[in-house]
Chain A
Amino acid sequence: MKNLWSKLATIDRRIIYLLVFIVVALPMIFRMIMPIRVSREVQMAFSEIDNLKPGSIVMISIDYDAASEPELQPMLIAILRHCFSKNIKVILLGHWALGLPLGEMALNQVAKEYNKKYGEDYVNLGYRPGYTALMVGIGKEIRDFFPTDYRGIPIDSFPFMRKVRNYQQIDVLVGLEAGATGDAWVQFAGARFNQKIILGTTGVIAPDMFPYLQAKQIAGLISGLQGAAEYETLLKKAGSAILGMPAQSFVHLLIIIFIIIGNIGYFILRKRR
């Protein structure tokens, strides 16, 4: 018996790795789906975009790269679908140079689904260095930092961009964040220019954003794969987030089981010692 508890307290890490692999792979192979409970913060984000009139402008900032793609790309796709289905214009830009191709891929995919045209319904401004300087500068004149789009075409050649000068013409700013850029958007675009902001973040970053949500400095928060799945649920269009949630559920459960086993083994061995 002592041997059993000792074994439970010291399971080989390769067994743990194998079990993690199995519980992630199986739900994805069998394409399991679980019902998603929608949280208040995602409902707020959804309603904010849902209440916009056709022709409104949403600016989306791609502040992540491929490492956070599984969590944030489904959010981007769901938000783009939501915007395009309501004929909302989209301006895309990013502070993470390595993330912009992901934005371009999502735009191309969703624009085709909704028959949207580049320059008329959406525009990709690309990446410019400057980070916080850029956020503050856009508050005065966007052309000072983005005179052209990512292909070098002057933004004034796009009809809906002619009226965009600063945050006053942008109805909602959506920041998709894998780092601290979300804080900067709140501090510089939100606090200084009263820009309405929705943040979509990785699960790790989300706790940092809750104070902003409670203080009403952001209008909604979509956190992690669960948040993306909630948004897809509200949109009634299942995507990779809803498909990914069973795998995440089972991994969470597996980790909890391991923690319990580890603690039982630890306490019994400690008592015997």
Chain B
Amino acid sequence: MIRTQLPLIITFFTGMLLIVTFFIPHKPFGDLEQRFLIWYSIISGFTVLLGLDSLVKYHLTKLKKEFNIHSFILLFSLFLTLILGFYSWFKFKTPFALNSPFMYLYTYVIIPLQATMFALLAFFIASAAYRAFRARTFEATLLLIAATIVMLGRVPIGSYIWKGIASFISTIFPKIPYEELAKKEIFALISDWIMNIPQNAAKRGIFIGTALGGIAMSIRIILGIERTYITK
């Protein structure tokens, strides 16, 4: 009873109170909202500890069953980072002091590792674009053309290519002056139009949909209709 009903009561009470504090920012409601926000911040801090606990427990259990190199590296890195962080904190008053061991680890291990992981995407994207970007249907062709124009319009080389095209056009049609045509930066102009008009229209539709979904879900949680967050 308490395990299922009490969270529902707390959620309903808190949700309703926060709605009231939003519309009545004066005392005592205004102060109450700030207090709730501070509590939220404190609880968020504890969720990090909870995550740490789950992560360590999971990998320790895995290691106890049989030796797993990935789990070992994860736990070793985790505790090494923690130890260096605390050591830097005690010695330099902050782990972020530029000459601290923690920043050494950050600069020479974390930054290169994260940058490498992300940089690999460039290779995969190039390969995937070549394999998957085929004009099989009308929609796929539209996407392909739009993507190509945006890719050219967003980088300086697009200007060079356009200048080449402008030169070619003014050679065939001498009445069209090259300078005026080259200034137009057609790829950049079309790219801006794609980003500002069709892209924005689609994005707005998605945003409105997700916002309405978020509101509906919040109401369901406050009223206790949505109960999936309660462990049975």
Contact = CB atoms under 8 A, between A and B. Distances in A.
Interface of A: 11, 13, 16-17, 19-21, 24, 34-37, 39-40, 65-70, 98, 100-101, 104-105, 108, 124, 126, 128-131, 133-134, 136-137, 140-141, 144-145, 150-152, 203, 207-208, 210-211, 214, 224, 226, 245-246, 248-256, 258-259, 261-263, 266-267
B135 A263 contact: yes
B172 interface: no
Contact of B154 (A21, A145, A214, A224): A224
A117 to B, nearest CB: 16
B157 A145 contact: no
B213 to A, nearest CB: 14
B54 interface: no
7 contacts: A67-B117, A101-B106, A108-B98, A134-B41, A137-B37, A211-B200, A256-B148
Given A67-B117, A211-B200, A254-B126, A104 B98 contact: yes
A262 B117 CA distance: 27
A70 B115 contact: yes
Interface in B36-93: 36-38, 40-41, 44-45, 47-48, 93
Contact of A98 (B110, B125, B204): B110
B156 A35 contact: yes
A210 B103 contact: no
Interface string B133-144: 111000000001
A37 B133 contact: no
A249 B156 contact: yes
Given A208-B203, A258-B126, 15 more contacts: A17-B127, A37-B159, A66-B115, A69-B111, A108-B98, A141-B34, A207-B199, A210-B203, A226-B154, A245-B155, A251-B122, A252-B151, A252-B152, A254-B126, A255-B126
A17 to B, nearest CB: 5
A262 B115 contact: no
Nearest to A70: B115
A228 to B, nearest CB: 12
Contacts of B8: none
A37 B115 CA distance: 27
Counting chain B CB atoms within 10 Å of each CB, which of A13, A249, A258 scores highest? A249
A32 to B, nearest CB: 10
Contacts, number: 165
A37 B44 contact: no
Interface residues of B, number: 58
B156 A36 contact: yes
A128 B37 CA distance: 12
Nearest to B40: A133
B175 interface: no
A150 B156 CA distance: 40
**Interface residues of A, dominant DSSP:** helix
Given A16-B123, A20-B122, A256-B152, A130 B111 contact: no
A60 to B, nearest CB: 16
B129 interface: yes
Given A16-B126, A211-B204, A258-B126, A137 B98 contact: no
A258 B93 CA distance: 53
Contacts of A133: 36-38, 40-41, 44
Given A137-B37, A210-B203, A211-B204, A68 B44 contact: no
A68 B155 contact: no
Contacts of A253: 152, 157
Contacts of A100: 96
Contact of A136 (B37, B113, B159, B192): B37
Contacts of B117: 67
Counting chain A CB atoms within 10 Å of each CB, which of B144, B154, B159, B192 scores highest? B154
Interface in B103-120: 103, 106-107, 110-111, 113-115, 117-118
